């Protein structure tokens, strides 16, 4: 029996602002650099952990209205902030973890318009310290 949870209703915050109702995609990457430590005598390449390089990509509907997407992101370009994704609505728990990148950097805020479509923006928060809360 499948036990995976379909990630269909996460809670997304950017700089403490809840943008869940403007977000249609969230992609969190927790990655660590691999440093090769293979030495003479080795028969296989081996690696040790390097620095973490985390990121959170969000696809958001763009709104220039007050207290919406643009108001949230505009002043964050070129700065660090906290971003969170909770797996689902409801209380944070072991089965509903809340992932945080603390001190993630927003490099750019693109603006895109396409004829006949809702305006969306893809933003990526890079770096930051990863943590997962279960309480």
Q: Summarize as ranges the residues that interact with other proteins (CB under 8 A).
A: 15-19, 66-67, 71-72, 74-76, 79-82, 102-103
Rounded CA-CA distance 101/48 in Å is 23
Nearest to 61 by CA among 25, 23, 19, 16: 23
Taking the complex as a whole, how short is the minimal distance between the CB of residue 122 and other proteins, in angstroms?
19
Cβ nearer to other proteins, comparing 47 with 64: 64
Q: Shortest Cβ distance from residue 103 to other proteins (Å)? A: 5
For residues 132 and 97, is the Cβ–Cβ distance under 8 A? yes
- Residues in Cβ contact with 69 at an 8 Å cutoff, skipping those fewer than 6 apart: 19, 22, 60, 61, 62, 63, 121
Distance CA 24, CA 98 (A): 18
Q: Which two tokens stand for residue 23?
A: 């977000």
Least CB distance to other proteins at residue 91 (A): 17
Bridge partners, residue 80, by sequence: 105
Q: How far is the CB of 129 from other proteins (least distance, A)?
A: 9
Comparison of 67 and 115: residue with beta carbon closer to other proteins: 67
């Amino acid at each position: 029996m499948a036990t995976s949870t379909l990630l269909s209703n996460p809670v997304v915050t950017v700089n403490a602002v809840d943008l869940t109702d403007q977000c249609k995609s969230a992609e969190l990457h927790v990655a660590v650099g691999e440093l090769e430590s293979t030495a003479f005598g080795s028969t296989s390449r081996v690696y040790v952990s390097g620095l973490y390089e985390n990121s959170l990509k969000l696809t958001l509907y763009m709104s220039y209205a007050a207290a919406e997407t643009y108001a949230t992101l505009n002043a964050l370009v070129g700065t660090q902030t906290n971003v969170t994704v909770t797996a689902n609505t409801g209380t944070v728990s072991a089965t509903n973890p809340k992932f945080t990148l603390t001190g993630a950097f927003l490099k750019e805020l693109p603006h895109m318009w396409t004829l006949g479509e809702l305006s969306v923006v893809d933003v990526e928060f890079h770096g930051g310290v990863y943590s997962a809360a279960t309480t």
